[in-house]
Chain A
């Protein structure tokens, strides 16, 4: 129980830190960037909206910074992120709600797939040490894990999209389609998701394979694995029940932490494929100086990562009885 409380406490603390960071950043930059933004949108946006922005970003210095912080926090708590500037008059919340859906689908599915596949291959590689799989694995995967997400995306587009014309590579679905729950639309969505998913899978799987393999190798040298052999247990049981179950524990923590990186990489993949998820909109907001949207998206991504970490902590506690008692 104490363990759960501590993790929750850390979660809240980091959440607060992210919120505060979001608030403080524009005010720290040399010359408040919001001023330029407001000047840019002066003609196309209503005066009230402008004033709200001035307050939100600290351009309006009539309110003290404490008061600004207070109203900022209140807005976040009530889910009021303001209006998007680049997509005026759509509210930020509206844009986010549809973007989340697309990103969760793409990134969520791909990451879980990469983790599972990567872990299994890693286990196999460690079990058959010295085999052909094991000797080529490390160098190959070291190289695949340093390929920039966006460049691999471009290469994938070049090969499968431009040269071979096998799959579409622009946006979540064809511009001629309208979203509906029909089979043809769903198929269209899947087709559009294959190349971005492939890109994400290839770049992320290498790390899972390698770390699982290395942790397994260290675990396989442990006494309780030798004991399991002595008891005459089958290879499969030793591999999964004794070695893998212990080896995966540090990886679970890594999984959640790496989610932050995966989201970062997904940003680039979405950009390259024009896939309208959270990452795409974040970059669009940056390029358009649409700060309300940008702030909200950054917050969203951070919260997602924090939640993932909390979940992985829970999973670790469930799988490792020692953490439960350690409190």
Chain B
């Protein structure tokens, strides 16, 4: 166990953690904006990656693909909200959760039918030879992940904290009836919240696709994203990012010291411990949802 190995592990832990941070963000955002945990978010990430695949297959360069994917994802989010979520928004939580799950299931099945289980790749400008930092190596893509995560968090922070629409969104999530009484058009707020969520999910897919490959199963990352979000305290954006990075480090070191089997166990062990001892996570408020 040399210093080089320890530091390289730290670097790769933060790298994989940046992926978890992004996915965690993509889960916390819809929760913050509309109070719903969107179990389809994993498949929205997949959708983003495949949409990028289609567009770059048409010959468009990556930088042109990015805004198109975001627009496409926003449209998808608004359609889902209007047609599928709004009619049942008063149903018990179970039904809503099952509906988001069914939506994800359908998206994945449709993708699998058309592209089958091949792993595709797309070109992106941030994929290249590894950067050398002394004896350590870092894939530049991970740097882009971290920077994007920070940028997204900053943008959302400004949006929720200082813009009128962002504040309207927070108000609606907190208490829709009161918000409506205050004159907020909650219909538009719901649509926008979903559009924002799906845009973020697809953005994650856009970034990840060139690095980890595009196949129908990449949505599975949502599990790790969930844990990242819980570690950070589910309603905190910055917390989700910190949670993701922490999770990546924990996992990597556990894998190095104890082997792959523990690598899988550590995230869920951490999850259980947190839920038992401190369900509000590291950054959440003390009055977390308890019985």
| A and B assemble together | no
Please list the residues of chain A having a beta carbon within 8 angstroms of any beta carbon in chain B: none
